[in-house]
A and B are shown apart, each in its own frame.
Chain A
Amino acid sequence: MPSQPKDHDLVISARPSSIGRFGRYGGQYVPETLIPALTELDNAAKLAWQDKSFTQELTHLLKTYVGRETPLYEAKRLSEHYQGKNGGPRIWLKREDLNHTGAHKINNALGQALLAMRMGKKRIIAETGAGQHGVATATVCARFGLACVIYMGKEDMKRQALNVFRMKLLGAKVHPVTAGTATLKDATSEAIRDWVTNVESTHYILGSVAGPHPYPMLVRDFHAVIGEEAKEQCKKAFGRSPDVLLACVGGGSNAMGLFHPFVEDRSVRMIGVEAAGEGVNTNRHAATITEGRIGVLHGAMSLLLQDANGQVKEAHSISAGLDYPGVGPEHSYFNEIGRAEYVAITDQEALTALQLVSEKEGIIPALETAHAFAFLEKLCPELAKGTEIVINCSGRGDKDVNTVAKQLKYMD
């Protein structure tokens, strides 16, 4: 296993390969019925990126509808909190929580909706875990008058009742999924089955850097605006690129969006934070890169939580958005070649971080995002003074207040 990536491995245009591979990860493990649609999507995306009318409309809507660019905010009180005797790092938040609908997810949903319309597809389906991607998709469908069906695990519908209501209000049909563990994994399977059935009229807005090629690339490219903005903002704020990038990883879309423009710059340390649930040595976690083995789920080869017989394991995390036994193939690749590090944070650590950030900065992060913040506890003591950290503040926590209140026993 190569530990030091060669320069050509890091060149952005070389990933994925023409057959959709990131090293040995990625590919297209889907029923034959979908292959022509994936080819069509790949071609449509290539043409769209070269078409000024597409990129101009996307940029315009990102600005006027989504509210980009999002600020790079210096979290002074949080930085102060982590100051040791010799000083400490400076912590910056890329405020994706300030996007319309409250998370980074809309960058991709908007881009894919525009693509769907270019392809003449008038019906949209999507899967959702925490509901953020479902809300983002329902939102853009309302904006463009597209029919919208969201697949969501029944268990997640309970955990994220507020987002279910938002999607319905936006005119989407929310389809409860009861199969398997009734969470994101099963919702994704059911969305793929819908797509297999209605592929001729329907576009599937997959919400993470997972799934069959071209999705890991497509979703990454729509989120790369996060990193591109951050790169410029860092230059303005402190005259150079940051030293450390920190983001939570379920499927890994917000992390990939932040990382992507920095991949070739090896001086930038990239850290992805997975959900350790009740602990990686228990059976109840979602730390795919930390604990998984190579396998195939939802159309891609990647690391995967599975049992000795190759059956996909149930994942667990307090945050519905990280509760997924797979991970995007490019993250598995970065892990393998050592370009990014992956660590895991427990439910309890995430809850503590959520409270800390709320109290210190007046920002209630999503439970998913709180995992990234929680890693500061372990990371900061080892960093030199003057280290510049950018955290992707990927979503806001309004949707999680019930879960948090229950856990912290704020409620009677």
Chain B
Amino acid sequence: MNFKQEILSSDSIQPSKLETCFARIKKEEKIALMPFIMAGDPDLNTSAQILLRLQAEGADIIELGIPYSDPLADGPIIQLAASRALSSGTSPKAVLEMLFNLKEKLTIPVVLFTYSNPLLNCGMENFCCQAAKAGASGLVVPDLPLEEAEKLSSIAAESKLDLVLLVAPTTPLERMKKICSRSKGFTYLVSVTGVTGERSNLEDRVNFLVQKIKQFSSNPIAVGFGISDAKHVSQVREWGADGAIVGSALVKRISNASDKKAVDEAGDFCRELRKAAG
């Protein structure tokens, strides 16, 4: 084994920050609480405060949206949050700078959520390198399915970023196996055929999908899209998921609050969800 191979193999043995986090939570028999916020909504300063508050209120992992003008996978709540963030002048670079400045204080893993175009525009290598420097642990790109993800996944791995892939209720079994085996950090299970947004009920088929995936994959499963309250978090925990991602419901609370109250509102909601997540 030459030097380079040795480095590579030792890398693959060492678990990533996300893997370590999920392992700990599993041991504690909890479910990872994963709130989503849109960076720059209403402005980056407030976003930074919200991130720290979410951490203080027990969030395990944060999903941080980088705003994009044409978010295909997002419903109206997150679309509007992205529009507000863009009007306040939020660029991908500024989001990463904000994150970099929080590096000392924000110790829980951060997964960046953005679309193909802003990412390509930055250059994949450049983006991953900057994101890793800023302390991010993973990357979710909802319009980059398996076929298009291979290149980014290896580039991300070089920067020790986990590229998380998504599985949908419409995904056929064989394809699901492939996605789960290539997804790094965890597998993102989309709970509905649809876009992000609040829903009053979770579909029973999520239970079925979690069980099915567990049969062939040891990757942690985080459920997202439509998880709107503490009841839903308990539900997916009962169904055996490893993480619950709460996006639109939180983003709505932030956008409905007056500027000064946004941080408190986010914190209060996170505390409520924490109780359900164990």
Binding site for B on A (CB under 8 A): 19, 27-37, 179-180, 185-186, 189, 192-193, 196-200, 293-299, 304, 306, 309-312
The residue that A200 contacts in the complex, of B170, B179, B190, with Cβ under 8 A, is B170
Q: Are B145 and A35 in contact (CB under 8 A)?
A: yes
14 A–B contact pairs at CB < 8 A?
Answer: A28-B147, A29-B145, A29-B148, A30-B143, A30-B145, A32-B142, A32-B146, A32-B168, A32-B170, A33-B194, A36-B170, A180-B69, A295-B120, A299-B143
CB-defined contacts of A189 to chain B, threshold 8 Å: 70, 72
Contact between B172 and A310, CB atoms less than 8 A apart: no
A185 to B146, CA, bound (A): 25
Interface pair A32/B116, CB less than 8 Å apart: no
Judge if B171 is at the interface, Cβ distance under 8 Å. yes
Chain B residues 172-201 with CB under 8 Å of chain A are: 172, 175, 179, 190, 192-195
Q: A192's contact among B72, B86, B117, B144, by CB below 8 Å, is which?
A: B72
B175 / chain A contacts, CB cutoff of 8 Å:
35-36
- What separation, in Å, do the CA atoms of A185 and B71 have in the docked complex? 12
Nearest CB of chain B from residue A295's CB, rounded to whole Å: 5
**B118–A31 contact, CB under 8 A?**
no
Contact A309 B91 (CB under 8 A): yes
Complex-state Cα separation, A37 to B170, whole angstroms: 9
Question: Which of B70, B145, B194 is close to A32, meaning CB atoms less than 8 Å apart?
Answer: B145
* CA gap between A30 and B92 in the complex, in Å: 21
Which listed residue, B121, B167, B170, touches A199 by the CB 8 Å rule? Answer: B170
Contact A31 B121 (CB under 8 A): no
* Interchain CA distance A36-B174 in the complex, whole Å: 12
Shortest B75–chain A CB gap in Å is: 7
Indicate if the CB atoms of B122 and A31 lie closer than 8 Å. Answer: no
Q: Min CB distance, B210 to chain A, in Å?
A: 16
Q: Assess whether A179 is in contact with B116, with CB atoms less than 8 Å apart.
A: no
Contact of B193 among A199, A304, A311 (CB under 8 A): A199
Interface of A is mostly: mixed
Q: Which of B194-243 contact A (CB under 8 A)?
A: 194-195
Top 6 closest pairs, chain A to chain B, by CB: A310-B121, A310-B118, A33-B168, A197-B194, A311-B69, A296-B116
Given contacts A32-B167, A306-B121, 9 further A-B contacts (CB under 8 A): A28-B148, A30-B143, A186-B70, A189-B72, A196-B73, A293-B121, A295-B121, A297-B70, A312-B117
Interface residues on chain B, size class: 35 or more
Known A180-B70, A311-B86: A31·B117 in contact at CB below 8 Å: no
In the complex the two chains form, is A310's CB within 8 Å of B72's CB?
no
A258 to B195 CA separation, bound complex (whole angstroms): 37
**A33 CB, min distance to chain B CBs, angstroms:** 4
B145 surroundings in chain A (CB, below 8 A): 28-32, 35
Q: What is the distance, in angstroms, from A180's C-beta to the closest C-beta of chain B?
A: 7
CB-CB < 8 A to B248: which residues of A? none
Whether B166 sits at the interface, judged by CB under 8 Å, is yes
Chain B residues within an 8 Å CB radius of A306: 117, 121
B58 at the interface (CB under 8 A from A): no
Q: Looking at the assembled complex, report how far the CB atom of B126 sits from the nearest CB atom of chain A, in whole angstroms.
A: 12
Contact string, B68-84, partner A, CB cutoff 8 A, digits 1/0? 11101101100100010
Q: A33-B193, A197-B195, A310-B92 are in contact. Are A297 and B117 (CB under 8 A)?
A: yes
For B37-80 the 0/1 string (1 means CB < 8 A from A) is 00000000000000000000000000000001110110110010
Flag if A32 contacts B117 (CB, 8 Å).
no
| Residue from the set B145, B146, B190 with the largest chain A CB neighbour count within 10 Å | B145
Task: Give A145 Cβ to nearest chain B Cβ, in Å.
Answer: 25
Q: Tell me the nearest residue of chain B to A181, going by C-beta.
A: B69
- Chain B residues whose C-beta falls within 8 Å of the C-beta of A200 in the assembled complex: 170, 193
